[in-house]
Amino acid sequence: MRLKPSKCKFCQLEVRYLGVLVSGGQVRVDPASTAAVRNATQPKTITQLQSFLGLANYFRKFLRDYAQVTAPLYALTKGQRLGTWTSDHTKAFEAVKLR
């Protein structure tokens, strides 16, 4: 195996890897990688909602009760068109963004 010294980092206390920070035996979300979720606007089409849910799904292991929180949003994706957006959907959408 060959290592390129310019790409190597040794004796690091914290390492960024695939959108997470690994340090001291802990794995946590890198705030820079969640900016797209935090800055998302309310979806207007089913494709936009599916895109948002796919992005949020990448971080699901860091979001407590992800399935329950996103259930109202997934229910909107069942048809050919985006269903009626209610306050429950807004709460779920904002809950995912804030976590």
pLDDT for 8-62, tens place per residue?
888 889 988 888 889 888 998 888 888 888 999 999 999 999 999 999 998 898 8
Q: What are the structural domains of the chain?
A: 5-98 (3.30.70)
pLDDT for 53-92, tens place per residue?
999 998 898 889 999 999 999 999 988 788 789 999 999 9
d(CA 36, CA 56): 9
Q: What per-residue confidence (pLDDT) applies to 44? A: 92
pTM over 0.85: no
Q: What per-residue confidence (pLDDT) applies to 62? A: 87
Rg over CA atoms, the chain = 17
